[in-house]
Amino acid sequence: MLLSQEFQNFIAQRRANPVPLDHLTDIGKLRASFDALGSDQSSLSDVMFRPVDAAGVPAEWVEPVGSDPSRVIFYLHGGGYVAGNPVVYRNFVTALCRASGYRALMVDYRLAPESPFPAALDDAKRSYAWLLTQGICTDQIVIVGDSAGGGLALSTLVSLREGCQSLPAAAVLISPWTDLTLQSGSHFTKMKDDPIITRTFLELCRQHYLGTEASGMDALVSPLHADLAGLPPLLVLVGTDEVLFDDSAALVHKAHEAGVDVGLIKGDRMIHTWPFFINSFPEAEKAVQAIGTYIRSRIR
């Protein structure tokens, strides 16, 4: 695959000026560095952002002009369970809304270390239940998450199924972090390939999220270890140059074996959560359009 010059320039800049997440022990500084990744919000003039209390969970509606209010992207952001917020994701989620024609609800779930597992999962389930009270039908909802948010989205689906609750129409998992045991081979073979995320950063986040009570083998912490039978259709996106590549490949295989309708988009030589960088290179735009097409195909 011929990579765009914009992507090559992006990678060169990241390698020359890496995000110092590995070396930050102060949680406030770590969050500030993560937030800087989403600082470009230059194309959002035709979008309304409305904060809302989703049954005690802060959230934000993303409503581009012309979006269908009856169909919703339920979005769970990344950040290793320790960072991230809806403002950082406005640009990217707006692009997903435009690509699909739907509006989105972004959940500002509690973060570790102040609120370790299961706080984020509880907030995701509570805000999802609130969404249903707003007159939105489950077959008009697609749950989407990236990185830790992708893992959280999968954990939410597993927990909802275990509770015999109505599931959304489909899910899109972007570079999902689904195994907090950090044992897959790509954590080692890809450790020098991706300038966005490293095993060192994941280990730090893992410790914060697990706290003193949880285990990385818990199926709701690491949903790669869960029974996936009965889940709605899944689309998984993963870059071939990221440390989470093997985790996602294993997830797709396991979901298929469990009878789940699952698709995989492998971004050739792409990095962790590459669609997030929608304004930086055309490969991200192409991925966003593919996600939009998938979302539209799953909601009738």
HSE value, Cβ hemisphere, 13 Å, CA-based, for 111: 19
- The one catalytic residue in 60, 63, 242, 283 is 242
Amino acid of residue 280: S
- Check residue 43 and give its pLDDT: 66
- Residues ≥6 apart with Cβ < 8 Å to 144: 73, 74, 75, 76, 96, 104, 153, 171, 172, 173, 174, 291, 295
- Check residue 218 and give its pLDDT: 96
- Residues ≥6 apart with Cβ < 8 Å to 266: 238, 239, 240
- Check residue 235 and give its pLDDT: 98
Average pLDDT, 10 consecutive residues per value, the chain (300 residues): 93 83 78 80 83 98 96 97 95 96 98 97 98 97 98 98 97 98 92 85 94 93 98 98 96 98 97 95 98 94
What's the domain count of the chain?
1
Residue-number span of the structural domain to which 151 is assigned: 5-298
3-class state of residue 123 by DSSP: helix
| Domain at 46, CATH number | 3.40.50.1820
Per-residue pLDDT reduced to its tens digit, 58-83 = 999 999 999 999 999 999 999 999 99
pTM of the model: 0.96
Is 4 catalytic? The answer is: no
- Check residue 242 and give its pLDDT: 95
CA pair distance 218, 204, nearest whole angstrom: 18
- Check residue 39 and give its pLDDT: 63
- The one catalytic residue in 187, 248, 272, 285 is 272
β-bridge mates for residue 104, sequence order: 62, 73
- Check residue 178 and give its pLDDT: 98
Question: What would the two tokens of residue 204 be?
Answer: 């730090």
Instruction: Give φ, ψ of 47 to 5 degrees.
Output: -125, 140
Is 159 catalytic? The answer is: no
- Check residue 41 and give its pLDDT: 64
CA 146 to chain centroid: 1
Q: CB 143: neighbour CB atoms within 10 A?
A: 28
CA distances from 253 to 16, 104, 191, 248 (A): 36, 29, 23, 9
- The one catalytic residue in 147, 155, 175, 186 is 147
- Check residue 249 and give its pLDDT: 97
- Check residue 42 and give its pLDDT: 63
Is 272 catalytic? The answer is: yes
3-class state of residue 232 by DSSP: coil
